[in-house]
Amino acid sequence: MSPPSPRAAAVHLLDQILGEHRLLTELLASGALDRLDAPGRARAQRLATQTLRGMERADRLLKKHLRKPPPLHVMNILRLGTTELCLGGDAHGVVNDCVSMIAGHKRFATLKGLVNAVLRKIATDGPAEWAILRVPHLPKWLRAPLSEAYGAETVAGFEAVHFAGAPLDLTPKGDAAALAEALGGTEMPTGSVRLQQAGQISALPGYDSGDWWVQDAAAAIPARLLNAQPGEAVLDMCAAPGGKTLQLTAAGADVTALDISDARMARVRENLTRTGLNATLVTGDALTHEGQYDAILLDAPCSATGTIRRHPDLPHARDGSEIGDLIALQAAMLDRALGLLKPGGRMVYCTCSLLPDEGECQIDEALIRHPALKVDRDALAMPGIDPTWITEEGGLRLRPDYWGDQGGIDGFYIALLRI
């Protein structure tokens, strides 16, 4: 059986995300695109994420031409075709391929005329109309609490960055300036290297030799803040996919990488092998882990609402119902991590969430539960850190609209704790 086209594969991803509420990372890990070659996988993923980012605009344009919504699979083909056409795709190729996808479908072949007619109208009028529509909004389940926390104007700034998409950030194993020059990228203030047009990641110079790894600039800050020293016993408490483990290991620390998922731990192992770094890998539950460590990095499971600029599937695959359980798990993990620290030890607690309940509030409550606990505000005096990003309790609040003119950063909360 021949592999699907990248467009067909992208529609399959949309069907799973919007119909089955599965995350794109889960789909990719389960082999959803494995039948495609590397360029095909990259294109399919790009088409799916572009469609998700622009879905509100696509739906507004399509509503004018549909008397009623068609079945989800057909709607997703129309959404993908509309997005491509409005972003400058070749009308002949886009329309013909979308019609062919419907014509070959056992259940929906009779709707090929509808798809053809609608997309031909979109090809004529859609691009001009697309350009004047508002920046797509986050769903209400997320927009409401974020607006309460930051204000509607700030949230609109988040949405603008989400819609624009994210450049590729790399963490160098060696010198950032040299890597930026070699790849034609930009050295960011905190030491990451940013590529605006990366192309196929595995084809970039230095990938096979392990000179760098993909890691958003915000996600690279927690390990830099922990400042692991050679020979220190360090626990990366929720390690997968391994970017922070690589940072800690490259600093010379004796790193134990812990994660509950065998499949996710395989990613950590692959990244260590490619970069020629070594760590002790442990698959297990953080809440029952034993040991004593000089330093711990806890990137706790969270809503991941700070990563939407890179993961536009998240607000469509989730509805916020899991956040209460996540908050309870974060508190339990934080308490457990403190119990694993040697006297005088330090810990970074972080989440890639924009919700204060998963960040600032967690630290406020931890300080009540543990009277001897201190937040090290002074440790935040790092290159690239704007003092206005430091919060009242002494943590660091990163937002997608920071560095917005350069592509933004992930939303994160980070605090360095000492006992």
- Confidence (pLDDT) at 359: 98
Mean pLDDT of the chain: 96
Q: 154-159, long-range: CB within 8 Å, 24+ apart, which pairs?
A: 154/399, 154/401, 157/399, 157/400, 157/401, 157/404, 158/308, 158/354, 158/399, 158/400, 158/401, 158/411, 159/135
Asked whether residue 74 carries a pLDDT value surpassing 80, the answer given is yes
H or E element in which residue 396 lies: strand 396-398
Active-site residue list: 352
Residue 257 — very low, low, confident or very high, per pLDDT cuts 50/70/90?
A: very high
- Confidence (pLDDT) at 313: 98
> What's the one-letter identity of residue 393?
E
Q: How is residue 302 written in tokens?
A: 């969270």
Residue 198 — very low, low, confident or very high, per pLDDT cuts 50/70/90?
A: confident
* Three-class SS state of 195: strand
Q: How is residue 241 written in tokens?
A: 């996919």
Q: Are 158 and 401 in contact (CB under 8 A)?
A: yes
- Confidence (pLDDT) at 2: 78
- Residue-wise pLDDT for 22-35, tens only, equals 999 999 989 999 99
* Residue 320 backbone zone (phi > 0: left; psi -120 to 50: alpha; other: beta): left
Q: Who's near 63: CB < 8 A, 6+ residues apart?
A: none
Q: State the average pLDDT over residues 125-144.
A: 97
- Residue-wise pLDDT for 354-405, tens only, equals 999 999 999 999 999 999 999 999 999 999 999 999 999 999 999 999 999 9
- Residue-wise pLDDT for 38-69, tens only, equals 899 999 999 999 999 999 999 999 999 999 99
Counting residues of the chain whose pLDDT is more than 90, the rounded percentage is: 96
- Confidence (pLDDT) at 1: 65
Q: Read off the pTM.
A: 0.94
Q: Are 217 and 400 in contact (CB under 8 A)?
A: no
Report all structural domains of the chain as residue ranges with CATH numbers, in order of start: 6-132 (1.10.940.10), 215-418 (3.40.50.150)
